A = this chain, B = another copy of it.
Amino acid sequence: MPPLSEADSLGLETAYLAAKRSYDAGGIPIGSCLVHHAAHTPKVLGKGCNMRVQKDSATLHGEISALENAGRLKAAVYRGSTIYTTLSPCIMCTGAILLYRIPRVVIGENHNYVGGEALLKQHGVEVVVVDDARCRELMERFIREKPEIWYEDIGEETPRGHT
């Protein structure tokens, strides 16, 4: 993996800090941000974290939170943006990326979960997996500490031996 560009470093760091804040608040440590890379200077349009615990939310995954925080945007803005997420996006968040035809997704890690990466690629989305150790370790820690919340977040029963 070559070193990240300045814009990608900014995006991934912003996503990681959102994930860390979520962890510190007792929530699921997944963070995301949307960056308008087509702008003269890359600009963070929105950021957020998973809000299952903080808002008892079933739909505010990190990526959905970031898109919601970005607000109502023109189609062309999404087309010139990259979405950063600390963890491989689930199929709901994958669908949101496809809906708005965001052309590029940068993923912190996909050791702890693999979501809709194949579907993204099928639709021509550029998918970059950074394999960032901080993202991976934070998520691993959360899954070990609160497995039932993690499995709830991906719509699964907690496997035996994990409670």
Contact = CB atoms under 8 A, between A and B. Distances in A.
Q: How many copies does the complex hold?
A: 2
Interface residues of A, number: 35
Contacts of A98: 91-92
A37 interface: no
A78 B71 CA distance: 29
Interface in A48-107: 52, 56-60, 64, 67-68, 70-76, 78, 90-96, 98-101
A56 to B, nearest CB: 5
Contacts of A140: none
Given A56-B71, A58-B67, A157 B76 contact: yes
A70 to B, nearest CB: 7
8 contacts: A56-B71, A58-B71, A59-B68, A60-B68, A75-B156, A95-B116, A99-B154, A99-B155
